[in-house]
Amino acid sequence: MATPEPVPGIDLPVPARVAGRVQESPTIVTLRLELEDPARQAAFRFAPGQFNMLHLPGVGEVPISISSDPDHDTFLGHTVRMVGRVTRALARLPVGARLGVRGPFGRGWPLEAARGGDVVVLAGGLGCAPVVGAVRYVLHRRRDYGRLVVMQGVKHAEDLIWRAQYEAWAREPDVQVLLAADVAGGDWPWNVGPVTELLEGARFDRGRCTVLMCGPEPMMIAAARRLEALGVPAAAIHLSMERNMQCALGRCGHCQIGPWFVCRDGPVFRYDRIRPLLGVRGF
Amino acid sequence: MPEPGWLPLQRADALLATLREAGYRVVGPQVADGIIRYGPLGEAAALPWGVRVEADAGRWRLRRTGEGRAFAWANGPQALKPLLFAPEETLWRTDADGRPAPQAPEAPPPTAVIGVRACDLAALALLDAHFLRPGREDPWYAARRSGLLLVAVHCTHPAATCFCASTGDGPEAREGHDLALWELEEGWLVEAAGAAGERLLAALPLEAPPAGAAERARTEVAAAAAAQTRRLPEGPLQARLFERLDHPRWAQVGERCLACGSCTAVCPTCFCHAAEERPGLDGSSARVRRWSSCFTEGHSYIHGIVLRPDARSRYRQWLTHKLGAWHAQYGRSGCVGCGRCIAWCPAAIDLVEEMEAIVGDA
Ligand SMILES: Cc1cc2nc3c(=O)[nH]c(=O)nc-3n(C[C@H](O)[C@H](O)[C@H](O)COP(=O)(O)OP(=O)(O)OC[C@H]3O[C@@H](n4cnc5c(N)ncnc54)[C@H](O)[C@@H]3O)c2cc1C
Ligand code: SF4
Ligand code: SF4
Ligand code: FES
């Protein structure tokens, strides 16, 4: 038996540099990464919704979605929310710092299949990075898609990042942006309440749309049920799932949900397929 | 296929010598620290001659009988898994500048393992399916797997915990091996499977088998199958398990389960591992993977939440995966009926009994 060598970029991280960083909020940073090998950077292909494993030597390695545009950007964008040890260290990286990248991994959003129909994006929680890439993707290819509805929910009004970005998106033709905060602050012209309530005001073709969701699972479950009640087929609803990931290669077993390895069969799942185990405690 | 040959037990060392001459390092079972362990084997005399295993839920004991057989026992806590899927493996290193320095997988010298059981072979096929998935072969596993030669032994003395007959994996070794031994009181009937095995068979100083040896050997192995009393409920169990996630028995077994992970550690098909970073004092760092288990808290951790906080949900993960989801992933159950998880459970939990209670009524 010929023994395969570890593949750089898959089994082993390849070195990359922080080429730019944007402090989106006190706890959220967008990193622009460039692989040190220009040929490798130029050849890097991915789809929105896929993710990379970012390795910080001496600290650890975590899965982070790719939020840049696969065709228009010459760097890899990663929006990182500081929640623990590794994300805190990643978010503090200065421009020029070196880190390791493996990827891209997983199945992204079905944006090819979505062509010709409306795209509905529903995001709960902070800096819901997996869908940001999808929104930018659709906006860059505006004529290929119908209406674009972006719904974003946050807990507290002051948590909202990319406020200017949402406002800019809302000015584009056939784009509707709906925002909701569980707890509103002073300057909050939008909805107060759960993000699922925004669905009532969303205008899109329920029979010809693709729904992309990410955020806390109870939110996604509630929204998926509501969408079905509104006449959206379950097969048109897609959810990005998060599970503990140690390898991203379908080997470590940590990301399993029943029969699926989230790193390989996901992270994006069709609602009708994953529904039986969705919300079941322990999976 | 060439005729089986006969190696009298007093010439058992010829097997080791032939394997060494063919370039293999020889690994085999030996009694050490009160258990049977697979390690480098210097001479045939070091094999577990004249011992039997008495096992039951939460119990595994060696008993010395002094009889003249080397394989009159079923299995110890581990066999092939640690040789291929290393309990700990360095995946890569980074230098002080944070540059990844490729770490070539450590390829052990060609290794012949003597005393591989039918359940071990079935488990190996499952580990291969997992770690050697086409297009995404695990290079570290592949390096350890590539030089492996397997000398199987058909089981004649199953433990009370064995149920390989009910999973269809034993006690006769059917595939995946190179040589197979049928052990009788006076000698080994040696059979080859495949080209490497046939070359070795030809190189062995074999005799013509005594009259009736083959029949006696087959009768013993058939008796070993008939002697097994534990049986898993008729499968496949995937649909039934996932229909019964709320069965009250999960909570009852969760009360007894210590979530220690002994079962997943001894299970020859469990593949879970966790990665950790080991920073060195000089600024370099190593990325290391280690065996892990769905019984650990970290297995289902995502920032701030443990999805499986209790023994009930972890025990349910283990068996819904092992006997259920494995079918979807690898086309068969992940259990090969070796009974190790029963014997090595400190709380004496018996998966066969649990499955009988949860999905036994069809
Ligand atoms: C497919 C996918 C895409 C993701 N995309 C993004 C993104 O674009 N931006 C972002 O900020 N976060 C994203 N996350 C979540 C991010 O991976 C976790 O926040 C991160 O792993 C937490 O690591 P930590 O060391 O900072 O936290 P700690 O709480 O200290 O976690 C310790 C370890 O547990 C594991 N772990 C903890 N939480 C998670 C988790 N949610 N998912 C997987 N492993 C976890 C990691 O191995 C981590 O190192 C994504 C997760 C997945 C699975
Ligand atoms: S589940 Fe138990 S009996 Fe089945 S293969 Fe694993 S250790 Fe052996
Ligand atoms: S999830 Fe549990 S049962 Fe499945 S392979 Fe991992 S440790 Fe074994
Ligand atoms: S992250 Fe390791 S199997 Fe999916």
Over residues B25-70, the pLDDT tens digits come to: 999 999 999 999 999 999 999 999 999 999 999 999 999 998 899 9
**% helix, strand, coil for chain B, step of 5:** 35, 25, 45
In chain B, residues with a C-beta closer than 8 Å to the C-beta of A57 are 94, 98, 277, 279, 284-285
A253 CB within 6 A, ligand 4? yes
Q: Decide if A67 is inside a domain.
A: yes
Same domain flag for A190 and A271: yes
For position A162, what pLDDT does the model report?
79
Distance from CA of A121 to the nearest CA of B (A): 23
Minimal-distance CA residue to ligand 2 atom 6? B267
Q: Decide if A9 is inside a domain.
A: no
For position B154, what pLDDT does the model report?
97
CATH of the domain at A88: 2.40.30.10
Same domain flag for A163 and A98: no
Residue B51, SS3 per DSSP:
strand
Cα distance between residue A53 and residue B277, in whole Å: 14
Q: How many domains does chain A have?
A: 2
For position B238, what pLDDT does the model report?
95
Q: In the numeric block, which tokens belong to residue A139?
A: 């906006």
Mean pLDDT of B244-262: 97
**Mean pLDDT for chain A overall:** 93
CA-CA-CA-CA torsion sign (A238, A244, A246, A250):
negative
For position A127, what pLDDT does the model report?
56
- Using 50, 70 and 90 to split pLDDT, how confident is the model at B1? low
Same domain flag for A77 and A126: no
Pick B107's closest partner by Cβ from A3, A8, A55.
A3
Q: Decide if A4 is inside a domain.
A: no
Same domain flag for A70 and A169: no
Spatial CA neighbour of B159 closest among B234, B66, B85, B62: B62
Contact B139 A256 (CB under 8 A): no
Same domain flag for A140 and A87: no
A282 touches chain B (CB under 8 A): yes
- Window 93-132 of B, Cβ < 8 Å to A: 94, 97-100, 102-105, 107, 130-131
In chain B, residues with a C-beta closer than 8 Å to the C-beta of A11 are 91, 139
Domain termination site, one of A80, A104, A128: A104
Same domain flag for A149 and A229: yes
Same domain flag for A162 and A74: no
Q: Look up the domain containing A86 and give its range.
A: 14-104
Mean pLDDT of B188-195: 95
CB pairs under 8 A between A and B: 141
Name the pairing type of β-strands B59-64 and A209-214: unpaired
Q: Decide if A112 is inside a domain.
A: no
- The angle that helices B248-256 and B351-359 make with each other, rounded to 10 degrees, is 160
Contact A1 B273 (CB under 8 A): no
- Using 50, 70 and 90 to split pLDDT, how confident is the model at B352? very high
Q: Decide if A3 is inside a domain.
A: no
Same domain flag for A178 and A263: yes
Q: Decide if A283 is inside a domain.
A: no
Measure B272 CA to ligand 3 centroid, in angstroms: 6
Measure A60 CA to ligand 4 centroid, in angstroms: 15
Task: Give the nearest chain A residue to B282 (CA atoms).
Answer: A58
For position B344, what pLDDT does the model report?
97
Taking only the tens place, the pLDDT of each residue in A196-247 is: 999 989 999 999 999 999 999 999 999 999 999 999 999 999 999 999 999 9
| Stated pTM of the model | 0.95
Task: Give the nearest chain B residue to A241 (CA atoms).
Answer: B302
Mean pLDDT of B206-234: 95
CATH of the domain at A240: 3.40.50.80
Q: Decide if A164 is inside a domain.
A: yes
Task: Give the nearest chain B residue to A264 (CA atoms).
Answer: B136
Q: Which of the listed residues A88, A242, A255, A263 should we mutate to test ligand 1's pocket, taking the one with most ligand atoms within 8 A of CB? A: A242
Taking only the tens place, the pLDDT of each residue in A7-31 is: 999 999 999 999 999 998 888 899 9
Domain termination site, one of A82, A104, A126: A104
Same domain flag for A90 and A176: no
- Evaluate if residue A157 carries a pLDDT over 90: no
- Window 200-239 of B, Cβ < 8 Å to A: none
Residue with tokens 């995937």: B238
Same domain flag for A54 and A147: no
- Using 50, 70 and 90 to split pLDDT, how confident is the model at B254? very high
Cα distance between residue B164 and residue B79, in whole Å: 16
Domain termination site, one of A104, A136, A159: A104
Q: Where are the alpha helices (DSSP H) in B227-289?
A: 238-243, 248-256, 262-266
Same domain flag for A96 and A209: no
The ipTM value here is: 0.95
The residue type of B86 is A
Q: Decide if A7 is inside a domain.
A: no
Same domain flag for A22 and A82: yes
